[in-house]
Amino acid sequence: MHRYRSHTCGALTLAEVDQSVRLSGWCHRIRDHGGVLFIDLRDHYGLTQVVVDPDSPAFAAAEKARAEWVIRIDGKVRKRPEGTENPDLATGAVEVYAAELEVLGAAAELPLPVFGDVEYPEETRLKYRFLDLRREKLHKNIMTRMAIIDAMRAKMKGQGFFEFQTPILTASSPEGARDFLVPSRLHAGKFYALPQAPQQYKQLIMMSGFDRYFQIAPCFRDEDPRADRLPGEFYQLDLEMSFVEQEDVFQAVEPVITGVFEDFANGKPVTKNWPRIPYAEALRKYGTDKPDLRNPLVMQNVSDHFRGSGFKVFARMLEVEKNEVWAIPAPGGGSRAFCDRMNSWAQGEGQPGLGYIMWREGGEGAGPLANNIGPERTEAIRAQLGLKAGDAAFFVAGDPDKFVKFAGLARTKVGEDLNLVDHDRFELAWIVDFPFYEYSEEEKKVDFSHNPFSMPQGGLEALNTQDPLTIKAFQYDIACNGYEIASGGIRNHRPEAMVKAFELAGYDEATVVERFGGMYRAFQYGAPPHGGMAAGVDRIVMLLCGVTNLREISLFPMNQQALDLLMGAPSEASPKQLRELHIRAVPPSK
């Protein structure tokens, strides 16, 4: 018999009754039933109930065992007594009567329990992550993550993609976040950067004559952490294709992502035919470029009903050409208590308040706004929004560029509080036609709004003749349930168009050559039209596991302060290490 086990703790069934077996694992739970000890023995594969009675030679050792001790058990499989079966366990019809017990690894007093799903402080969970990962739910999430990645690989290969690996030590690149820099020992004063994404390399793979690339790529960005973005590093399903237009990318990617969601949605509906929503439309309807389409609420522009009205606050705002009034419908929200709660919430968000109209029986409007604009305008608003008695609408006004984010939050708040959101489904959509440039108030200049390597719609002619702020890009995102889960574009593969695009953002040709020399040179020697995207593995797994924090689906994450509490990183470098790297640590100024 094997030194440690003949079976795993998830393998025994009625077919093994009366067999002598050997199991090894952790003491998940130990119960004393009138002198008879019951040990739930756990390993990666499952749980087996072990019985040790006072007559067993194993009893003395079993009495000393504690939670999370690692033990080996020799014993005989027997059918559980009638009425004590556990249908929730794969091994629930049997138990092992122990004849011998060996302690393989004793455990000190536990800083957090493994049995049960008790909430514990994050600091403790991350410091003792190896214990945290033994807990059933987290262990299951990590295995689900592995299965999802396997499914992604299989589906990508089924679509004719080939898996490549790209360098980790590379050059700095303007991907929209800070680089992690790595000092060079051999080249004093120079630095590598960890890749924010394999963007340039995957385009160079297309330049090199390969056709369909993908990888599960590690990416590194020195960003502030939040619940849906881990500090430091993340993984993405990265892909690129040659000789394609935007629609070709959609046709290749949509079945992969839909298939992965269907495989792991546990029966929840998944969007079959994804809608294509232009960026500007998404902002106007949903207040965000990553809309949660499970929420049925659609905002509308109702400016005409307030223009020249008795509600002077809005009427004066609308005298400025750019300003508008948007309405957020609230079916079933026509109570004073709900409207007051929304108004208080808005004030908590830093707003002066949130105007509203309620509709009573007979279609009569109520509330300060209705009293000021009169019944005719109130009725016109109700008709436009398709509302009825018992419903309400909330209003935001001013410059849409400034209030759009708040409007989107208000739409989400109304939908959630009125239980209008169907949480048991996955709604996927393409967001298309992103603006190529935006105006940076901080730097007082035009800058790239998204990815500088995308092809502008209209190509070089658009760059030469259009107002930069009106140019759209062949750029697209995938939104799912309020999260951006993927982003990509058709690439700008023409050298003259690439130089012009960067020129409009304030970079001259010399800068382009210096910072993107490899790609710029490649474009001179026969560049195929190409495009692709990258899907966030971590966010997809988070959605499919039904959690709201990426730390629940990652093996060894950092905390919110970007500290690795388990390994003690970041740590100070020794003077010798710093000398070898030709650098000096300068403390921050106080």
Tens digits of per-residue pLDDT, 524-581?
999 999 999 999 999 999 999 999 999 999 999 999 889 999 999 999 999 999 999 9
Categorize the per-residue pLDDT at 338 as very low, low, confident or very high, splitting at 50, 70 and 90: very high
Q: Please give the single-letter amino acid code of residue 166.
A: T
How confident is the model over 540-554, as pLDDT tens digits?
Answer: 999 999 999 999 999
Distance from C-alpha of 130 to C-alpha of 62, rounded to nearest angstrom:
24
Residue 450, annotated as binding a ligand: yes
Residue 484, annotated as binding a ligand: yes
Third-level CATH fold of 295-421: Gyrase A; domain 2 (3.30.1360)
Distance from C-alpha of 170 to C-alpha of 198, rounded to nearest angstrom:
10
Residue 222, annotated as binding a ligand: yes
Q: Is 46 in contact with 89 (CB distance < 8 Å)?
A: yes
Q: Which of 220, 252, 223 is nearest to 236 (CA)?
A: 220
Q: With a cut of 60, say whether residue 175 has pLDDT above it.
A: no
- In 441-536, where do the E strands start and end? 445-448, 475-480, 483-490, 530-536
Q: Residue 234 has which token pair?
A: 């993340």
Residue 139, annotated as binding a ligand: no
Average pLDDT over residues 390-416: 97
How confident is the model over 290-316, as pLDDT tens digits?
Answer: 999 999 999 999 999 999 999 999 999
N residues, the chain: 590
Mean pLDDT taken over the chain: 94
Q: With a cut of 90, say whether residue 516 has pLDDT above it.
A: no
Give 35-68 as a DSSP string: TEEEEEEEETTEEEEEEE-TTSTTHHHHHH--TT
For residue 278, the model assigns a pLDDT of 98
Backbone φ and ψ for 429, nearest 5 degrees, come out as: -155, 150
Categorize the per-residue pLDDT at 512 as very low, low, confident or very high, splitting at 50, 70 and 90: confident
Residue 68, annotated as binding a ligand: no
Third-level CATH fold of 139-244+431-575: BirA Bifunctional Protein; domain 2 (3.30.930)
Please, how many CA atoms are within 13 Å of residue 34, restricted to the half-sphere of its CB?
Answer: 0
Residue 539, annotated as binding a ligand: yes
CA dist 305 → 5, 175, 297, 408, 425 (Å): 77, 43, 20, 21, 36
Q: Is 232 in contact with 123 (CB distance < 8 Å)?
A: no
Q: With a cut of 80, say whether residue 380 has pLDDT above it.
A: yes
Domain coordinates in residue numbering, the chain: 14-105, 139-244+431-575, 295-421
Distance from C-alpha of 413 to C-alpha of 428, rounded to nearest angstrom:
20
- In 409-459, where do the E strands start and end? 428-432, 437-440, 445-448
Distance from C-alpha of 175 to C-alpha of 433, rounded to nearest angstrom:
19
For residue 227, the model assigns a pLDDT of 63
Q: Could you tell me the end-to-end alpha-carbon distance of the chain, in angstroms, rounded to an integer?
A: 66
Q: With a cut of 70, say whether residue 585 has pLDDT above it.
A: yes
Q: With a cut of 80, say whether residue 466 has pLDDT above it.
A: yes
Q: Please give the single-letter amino acid code of residue 170.
A: T
For residue 78, the model assigns a pLDDT of 97
Q: What angle do CA 316, 322, 327 make, to 5 degrees?
A: 75
CATH superfamily for 14-105 is Nucleic acid-binding proteins (2.40.50.140)
Residue 74, annotated as binding a ligand: no
Q: Is 203 in contact with 530 (CB distance < 8 Å)?
A: yes
Q: With a cut of 80, say whether residue 276 has pLDDT above it.
A: yes
CA dist 134 → 8, 118, 129, 191, 465 (Å): 16, 13, 9, 39, 61
Helix or strand holding residue 31 (H, E): strand 20-33
Q: Is 303 in contact with 373 (CB distance < 8 Å)?
A: no
Categorize the per-residue pLDDT at 229 as very low, low, confident or very high, splitting at 50, 70 and 90: confident
Q: With a cut of 80, say whether residue 387 has pLDDT above it.
A: yes
Residue 316, annotated as binding a ligand: no
Residue 537, annotated as binding a ligand: yes
- State if pTM tops 0.85: yes
How confident is the model over 48-81, as pLDDT tens digits?
Answer: 999 999 999 999 999 999 999 999 999 999 999 9
